Structure 1
């Protein structure tokens, strides 16, 4: 029998090298391609961050324009996919719909199985462009409305909001969406990114790999956590209930959604950025109840959980921001996917540039051996 050390959840296991993302969980630092997330959130755009994740460098002005123009040209969805979206069960979760829509995109692409570097790159651009269009169409159809055609004159974030709502967003709303997409675009080898690479390492097509990633992101312990935070707020009710609620949870060693992270042992740097925007939303747009509840939970829980390295993560404040932008609870995780598609594609491109080695972990066998086979009539 093997005596190898078992790493449950693959924690601490290194299976490849990457220059796309650096996370220092002890110090609360996050970098995309060497750039601090705070700087990117303040100064960059989702298009520029997507270029960074696909090319591992920031673009020059003409490169960014050409890249953005390519995304604009790829936004429109095939009519067959729009018809399919109209037929989805009305009660299905949007993440299940998104998963199926991505799979359908692959079936509609005659170059689905083109694994060349150029083919992979072009399909990556198409997926980044179309994810926003798919989620917007899902929202419209779910509300009994017709999907809208994309607007070539709007940025990625602004066009997403327009296609989802039918109204051109204000510059403030577009910027808020842009920041949210930047913060969620990449985060190292999380469950969904690892799933995408594991699938693509079999030399399947990128649509299949991204479909698997969407399925992984759907889980409440990954992308679905932001939904759980807003459900928690609804459960608490009035602001004055927040303090006794969190005290009761702490006394009974319950779990507070949106607090704690597998990597960060201090305040998640993305949560720090989003907290600022959630505060602005509360002050300007009447979301003070939600914000006050979250601040009460953060402060009271921090007294007990902070010394144990448990702090708010990116999901803690994101729901308040998405709600203010007009999205209902079930669309919070699909928005996460609209952002993370850039990270998924970037990692697949990076992994395949060096050596697309098939991932094949092992497990330590703990069962019996050489059992005698007993005929079924004697068992």
Structure 2
């Protein structure tokens, strides 16, 4: 029995939700390029959960149900107000608040298929409100209630800022939500499936997944990208900064990806949005700096940008606080986690791998009085 570090190359389950084959990402067989350019986030969520794109009637109903379930219980808002917002990282706050939602759901431990689908809908609706409420409360503002006639992306920006967003801003958030919705058996998705494979409840599964996404090697990468761009400051500093990283053998966030050999197919869509948005806010240095860094690292190390690299400048251009980048990732990836949780429940087997033991063998027990 031989281990594989990081489970790299290990096929742990079968799934019909998303695939990465020959550097092409698909959701239920649909290419990510087609979905990113044509679909609303709600269409993609419906696709992931139901294995088919909705017709107009199905989509209208689904969008209405999401909007109707978006408002948070007052107890959750009171809980968010109780945080010491000077020390709490948003991902820790979101993780705890999402877990707390389960205490206010009288169906939390009902395991029938229809009950789980309804819980999935409520969780997907409310996670957007959790993130935006956290952001506003720490600014000393009241949470904003969603509008039932707004789509998911538009409602996110409306609840975050308290004003109607521009069309290009809605387009950018919708595209980001679509691109981040699922990504095969990534670390947080695997965590969710391991958790619910014990037949734990759906709230436990998504809370465990949020904990995994919080790490800088997973969901936290785009926040670190923006920290890097801010440290660089001006475009003429970019190459010397990267050379110093190379010299010190430091990891550069947002570059390369374990499962793509020739580049992340999602990155180009956010690269285009970064270019457009940086022009809108008249701060194109963030886009230009990103392009210069990507081109240089590709030339020097053969590593192209991944989706996190350009999402950083997109979110910055939208005025989103840098430490909210990963919570926004959570809002999107929640759809994929829930799809995988539902799939796991429908064909469950406890996930219990083995470990290759490398510790000492055949040691002899020594009585206390004889130990040195």
Shift of 1:245: 1.5
Contact 2:144 2:162 in 1 (8 A): yes
Matched, 1:343 2:336: yes
Tell me the equivalent position of 1:67.
62
Tell me the equivalent position of 1:377.
369
Q: 1:287 to 1:29 in 2, by over 3 A?
A: farther
Matched, 1:361 2:353: yes
Q: SS of 2:20's equivalent?
A: strand
Shift of 1:89: 1.6
Q: SS of 1:269's equivalent?
A: coil
So what's the TM-score if we normalise by structure 1? 0.95
- 1:365 and 1:100 map into 2 onto residues whose CA distance is 35
- 1:376 and 1:105 map into 2 onto residues whose CA distance is 50
- 1:78 and 1:254 map into 2 onto residues whose CA distance is 44
- 1:287 and 1:17 map into 2 onto residues whose CA distance is 45
Tell me the equivalent position of 1:253.
249
Q: How does 1:76-115 map to 2 (within 5 A)?
A: 76-90=71-85, 91-115=87-111
Residue 193 of structure 1 is aligned with which of 189, 210, 213?
189
- 2:327 and 2:239 map into 1 onto residues whose CA distance is 31
Q: How does 1:1-379 map to 2 (within 5 A)?
A: 4-24=1-21, 27-90=22-85, 91-306=87-302, 310-353=303-346, 355-379=347-371
Q: How many pairs align?
A: 370
Q: Which moved more, 1:239-248 or 1:185-194?
A: 239-248
Runs of 4+ off more than 4 Å: none
Q: SS of 1:286's equivalent?
A: coil
- 1:328 and 1:335 map into 2 onto residues whose CA distance is 10
Task: Give the CA RMSD over aligned residues.
Answer: 1.2
Q: SS of 2:326's equivalent?
A: helix
Shift of 1:61: 0.8
Q: SS of 2:164's equivalent?
A: coil
- 2:89 and 2:226 map into 1 onto residues whose CA distance is 16
So what's the TM-score if we normalise by structure 2? 0.97
Task: Give unpaired runs (5+ residues) of structure 2.
Answer: none
Q: Which moved more, 1:251-260 or 1:232-241?
A: 251-260
Contact 1:287 1:320 in 2 (8 A): no
Deviations 1:228-257 (A, max 9, x none): 000101111221111221233234433211
- 1:187 and 1:200 map into 2 onto residues whose CA distance is 18
- 1:142 and 1:323 map into 2 onto residues whose CA distance is 18
Shift of 1:370: 4.1
